[in-house]
Amino acid sequence: MIPSAETNPSKKMINVLIVDDSSLLAELLQDILSLDPQMHVVGIAKNGREAIEKVKIFKPDVITMDICMDVLDGVEATKQIMTENPTPILIVTSSISHENSEKIFHAFSYGALDVFDKARIEFKDDQVSRDQLIHQVKYLSGIAVRPYGFLENPAARKQGVSSKWQKASDKIVAIVASTGGPQAILRILKSFDADFPCGILIVQHISKGFEENFMHWLNDECVIEVRIPKHNEVIRPAVAYIAPHDKHLCVNAKRMIELASDPAVGGFRPSGNILLKSVAEVYGKAAVGVILTGMGKDGVEGMMAIKKKHGVTIAQDEKSSMIFGMPKVAIEMKAVNQVLPLEMIPEAILKCLRG
């Protein structure tokens, strides 16, 4: 999910490469994007192999990438493009099947930035969805992406770190992330074992319709349970709760989960600030706040609220962040106790909980 305030402010022409094995869908995407005078479709590729070659020729500012294609699918194409010619990639595909979901998030792990459900434009004349597609493409075109492999890839198998806790902790961990967040969150959650002593609350800005896919992907990869919570759900140890689309995730005085339909904050619902401020109010010094990769400043005020209550605040460092936006602002505002590379954040969280 991208707030309206965070578009690409540049007036230069944005060159787009469309990758889709359906000529009808490719033409529809071209028609939609061409409605914006700042957009220029430089080429269309019908499979991943063709996309790799056309990236070398056209050097686009941004790519829309289908996932399920013959010859070479969007996952492998993303991996090769992000290795050889790093370019912002928006996955434009359907969220219907579990298999498709796995492919989407594997593409994320190779460096794709965001996802858009093509069904929103494929079967109906939905101008809001078409505007959102244009908005996402423009936003991603302004991001300086890193090549695949700039971070060591997470281990292929589940491998949590046993902590030998004596009892469940009365603490809480709250994580906020945006662009680049799915792979960062995976790295963190994958480090925790089934005896993790407290709950983990997560706000990840992600496009409509993909939060359940994100949940399934994390569950497939992690030892701890990952779920989308219900209103008034009790927070349990060793469970990570992902904010549902279009609902604010927060905690109440009884330390239960609340889902609210209050207005968006800073363009976001769910809002990282809403989550972190509620955690600061309810848990005080027992709160651990973590702000990860992403553009903008969502979560910064909430991190400050936790710090003022003498909780622990951790920010991902610049070198390991795909987008050093949210962490940078939090650091500059002095809302952060620790600035760490991604691979050190899980152990830092464990140390806070032991303490």
Is residue 266's pLDDT more than 50?
A: yes
Looking at per-residue pLDDT, the higher value among 109 and 83 belongs to 83
Give the residues across from 40 on adjacent strands.
Answer: 15
User: Residues 20, 101, 298, 321: which is the catalytic one?
Assistant: 298
205 is catalytic: yes
Q: What pLDDT does residue 154 have?
A: 47
Q: What is the pLDDT of residues 192-233, one digit of tens each?
A: 999 999 999 999 998 877 888 899 999 999 999 999 999 999
Mean pLDDT of 276-292: 97
Query: What is the pLDDT confidence band of residue 95, given thresholds at 50, 70 and 90?
Result: low
Burial class (CB in 10 A: 0-12, 13-18, 19+), 141: buried
Do the domains 172-354 and 14-141 match in fold?
yes
Q: What pLDDT does residue 148 have?
A: 84
Is residue 336's pLDDT more than 50?
A: yes
CATH architecture, range 172-354: 3-Layer(aba) Sandwich (3.40)
User: Residues 205, 248, 271, 278: which is the catalytic one?
Assistant: 205
Is residue 5's pLDDT more than 60?
A: no
Give all strands of the β-sheet with 89-93 in edge-to-edge order: 39-45, 14-19, 62-65, 89-93, 114-117
User: Residues 178, 191, 207, 320: which is the catalytic one?
Assistant: 178
Domain boundaries, the chain: 14-141, 172-354
Domain 14-141, CATH among 3.40.50.2300, 3.30.1020.10, 1.10.287.470, 3.40.50.620: 3.40.50.2300
Q: What pLDDT does residue 205 have?
A: 93
Query: What is the pLDDT confidence band of residue 165, given thresholds at 50, 70 and 90?
Result: low
169 is catalytic: no
Counting residues of the chain whose pLDDT is more than 90, the rounded percentage is 73
**Which of 16-25, 165-174, 252-261, 281-290 is predicted least confidently?**
165-174
178 is catalytic: yes
Is residue 249's pLDDT more than 60?
A: yes
Mean pLDDT of the chain: 90
